[in-house]
Amino acid sequence: MSDLLSHDDNRHKTQETDVVAQMRLLINTLKKHNHAYYVLDNPTIDDEQYDALRQRLLALETQFPDLKQADSPTDQVGDKPLAAFTQITHDIAMLSLGNVFSFEELSAFIKRINDRLDTKNQNPEFEMELKLDGLAVSLKYVHGQLYQAVTRGDGRVGEDITHNVRSIHNLPQVLPECAGIGLLEVRGEVLMPKAGFDRLNRENGERGEKTFANPRNAAAGSLRQLNPAVAAARPLAFFGYSVNQGLPNHVETQSDSLEYLRSLGFEVAPFGTSSTPQGVQEFYDDVAKTRASLPFEIDGVVVKVNSLSLQNDLGFLSREPRWATAYKFAAESAITRLLAVEWQVGRTGQLTPVGKLEPVSVGGVTVSNVTLHNFGEIERLGLMVGDVVSVHRAGDVIPKVTAVMLDLRDNAVSPIDLPKTCPVCASAVILPEGEALARCTGGLYCAAQSKEALVHFVSRRAMDIDGLGEQWLIKFFEMQLVRTVADIYELAEHQDLLMTLEGLGEKSVKNMLAAIERSKNTTLPRFIFALGIRGVGESTALNLAQHFTDFEAIRRATIDDFLAVPDVGEITARNIYEFFHSTHNNEVIDRLLASGLMWQATTASMSDTPLDGQTWVVTGTLSAMGRDEAKAHLQALGAKVSGSVSSKTSALLAGEKAGSKLEKALVLNVTIISEDEFLQLLAQNGRMVSTE
């Protein structure tokens, strides 16, 4: 991360002025987000993105301690309290916790403790708790009565939120056993359980009211309500984690103080103890496994020296205790820089942008490539090469760019352009209007799409070369014997080589070549279908063949000509047109034709449109085809297809389990055609129906 803000070595900014400029930029950005978060309760980036920015500043401050800015927010806990609430100075400052992220860092934390402890106190027992993801609150009970509740605020001064915590259902208002204790201060976390958060957001969403980014923000927003009735309606909960004043003398450890809190009626989250780093690690691992199934959110484990007297001996650093640390789960977000975008071509021709990142650790894994999905996503994010981005990776989910840090954008960024030609085969790239996915038009030629195109070409419903199995085809592709479908018809030239391949004897090669030869005698619809044009299935191939009757006419046709073909819409018309206007595809097609492919001239059926002027309805389940296909055939024969039976209906095509439409047709005396009769009708009109 140390060169996060530099593009490359040439621009490596090690000069003091540059470091200070980076620090100032980060400080100002953090301050803006602090204010939005702590004072306005309206964060504009998520917690992890914020943490990543803060980590970046901390890294610079560690690397260049002399340049640390006096107003750095890394020294502060939170932000100034909101003026509308009464401000209360804490009797004892409410501090923060240091962080560790790995077993090594945990061991270093434990070593630092051992280094400060006497020989007799080495390897003290540790107590481990859940790090609850809510807000720290201090509660004061006077003679057992809840007297005051205060937020952490900036650690020194917080806000009086007594009116709002009184309605938290699991927070005891009276502690009968503490009637004799003048002042008892309990600290803990107010949070919103996941189920309550989901419900609140759903209900607020339905009412068109504000929804919250996460349970923590929802809890914070609820505690900051000036109207206690609003807070009372929010599903909050309190978990105690320490007694800071008034603890009975017999309680000597952190774990006992949690038991004590429990005995008083406070809810306390699960905890454990261990004297070894391995034991602490085991607790952490167990918690990490159950994290997702917990009813509330946590972001790690808090590790505390169990003995309260040792805690006292160890004392505090400026903003955190020496005797405790947060062993946090790997951040699922990090910020880094987008260095470049490369375009990958998928097997069906779609172009996928892949972001090349300055390597960054996210969720415990180093990420240097990230899919940007499609051009639409780049536009949605407003992303440019050189931008500082937030990358998210949760669990095993693939990493994702979730946001662009516009605050950190400098003028060295450059726009991400969709390539005009395919990076693999240089054919034209098209991005149909309103679509997010760009595609290479060189379907027959493009190496990225070749395997898919080859397998489709030989398949049974296309050229039907049954003697050339998929495995051999792929093998020939990998041997570079077959790169495009036209090469299939030149395989005979490599006969001798083929016979030397293991598993391919003379006989099988002969059979294979004979099957290839046989396939040359085909039909125009099969050939069109075999070309694998996007959106052109068998039924459309048939419609094209019957509409144009001549292959050369199809090659010359305009988009408007294609739109006149039944079943062909704007997108398919464009796809077909682009396909036949790719120079590369045409090279392959010319070679195919030159190799001797032939088909009977397609006579447009006896009458082109024998069902002209008729209106048909299709109902029930057909066994030979889907209803859409049947509809396309009918339309190709000139019929209109309607969704409901009326006295104007010419015929009802009724498949299995036909229901009310069949009844209505019987009542109205409409001609009823069975599937068999329909197939005969199609056959009579030269329409091919596959029999798979």
Tokens linked to 40: 């306005």
The site for ligand IVH, by CB under 6 A, has a size of 14
Torsion of CA 434, 437, 442, 443, to 10 degrees: -110
Member of 33, 54, 152, 216 binding ligand IVH (CB under 6 A): 152
Q: Residues 400, 391: contact at Cβ < 8 Å? A: yes
- Count of CB atoms situated within 10 Å of the CB of 291: 15
Least separation in angstroms between CB 10 and ligand IVH: 40
Query: Which string of DSSP letters, residue by residue, matches 646-657?
Result: -TT--EEEE-BT
Burial class (CB in 10 A: 0-12, 13-18, 19+), 659: exposed
**294-313 binders of ligand IVH (CB under 6 A):** 302
Distance between CA atoms of residues 120 and 608, nearest Å: 102
Stretch that binds ligand IVH, among 28-36, 95-103, 275-283, 395-403 (CB under 6 A): 95-103
Q: Residues 297, 133: contact at Cβ < 8 Å? A: yes
Member of 326, 408, 536, 622 binding ligand IVH (CB under 6 A): 326
Member of 57, 132, 223, 335 binding ligand IVH (CB under 6 A): 132
CB closer to ligand IVH out of 102 and 671: 102
Which of these, 477, 486, 414, lies nearest to 448 by C-alpha position?
477
152 among the known binding-site residues? Answer: yes
* SS3 of residue 89 by DSSP: strand
Stretch that binds ligand IVH, among 36-44, 67-75, 124-132, 457-465 (CB under 6 A): 124-132
CB closer to ligand IVH out of 129 and 487: 129
Member of 321, 346, 535, 638 binding ligand IVH (CB under 6 A): 321
Member of 56, 131, 400, 526 binding ligand IVH (CB under 6 A): 131
Q: Are strands 640-642 and 615-619 parallel, antiparallel or unpaired?
A: parallel
Least separation in angstroms between CB 49 and ligand IVH: 18
Distance between CA atoms of residues 301 and 180, nearest Å: 34
Closest CB to ligand IVH belongs to which residue? 136
Least separation in angstroms between CB 136 and ligand IVH: 3
CB closer to ligand IVH out of 191 and 430: 191
Any catalytic annotation for residue 210?
A: no
CB closer to ligand IVH out of 41 and 189: 189
Binding of residue 96 to ligand IVH (CB under 6 A) = yes
Binding of residue 136 to ligand IVH (CB under 6 A) = yes
Member of 324, 345, 488, 625 binding ligand IVH (CB under 6 A): 324
Torsion of CA 406, 407, 411, 416, to 10 degrees: -10
Stretch that binds ligand IVH, among 68-76, 125-133, 417-425, 468-476 (CB under 6 A): 125-133
Stretch that binds ligand IVH, among 90-98, 251-259, 352-360, 492-500 (CB under 6 A): 90-98
Binding of residue 97 to ligand IVH (CB under 6 A) = yes
**432-471 binders of ligand IVH (CB under 6 A):** none
Binding of residue 602 to ligand IVH (CB under 6 A) = no
Q: Which residues contact 435 (CB under 8 A, 6 or more apart)?
A: 376, 571
Q: Are strands 183-191 and 237-245 parallel, antiparallel or unpaired?
A: antiparallel
Binding of residue 219 to ligand IVH (CB under 6 A) = no
Distance between CA atoms of residues 583 and 121, nearest Å: 81
**156-195 binders of ligand IVH (CB under 6 A):** 189
Bridge partners (DSSP) of residue 137 are: 151, 188
Binding of residue 234 to ligand IVH (CB under 6 A) = no
Tokens linked to 41: 């309760």
Phi and psi angles of residue 192, each rounded to the nearest 5 degrees, phi first: -115, 115
Binding of residue 95 to ligand IVH (CB under 6 A) = yes
Distance between CA atoms of residues 54 and 56, nearest Å: 5
- Count of CB atoms situated within 10 Å of the CB of 99: 19
- The residue from 131, 400, 631, 661 that is catalytic is 131
Tokens linked to 281: 């690690």
Q: What is the DSSP letter of 502?
A: T
Taken in order 500, 503, 509, 512, is the CA torsion positive or negative? negative
Distance between CA atoms of residues 114 and 121, nearest Å: 8
| Residue numbering of the annotated binding site for Zn(2+) | 422, 425, 446
Just list the catalytic residues: 131
Contact set with ligand IVH (CB under 6 A): 95-97, 129, 131-132, 136, 152, 189, 241, 302, 321, 324, 326
| Residue numbering of the annotated binding site | 47-51, 96-97, 129, 152, 189, 304, 328, 422, 425, 446
| Residue numbering of the annotated binding site for NAD(+) | 47-51, 96-97, 129, 152, 189, 304, 328
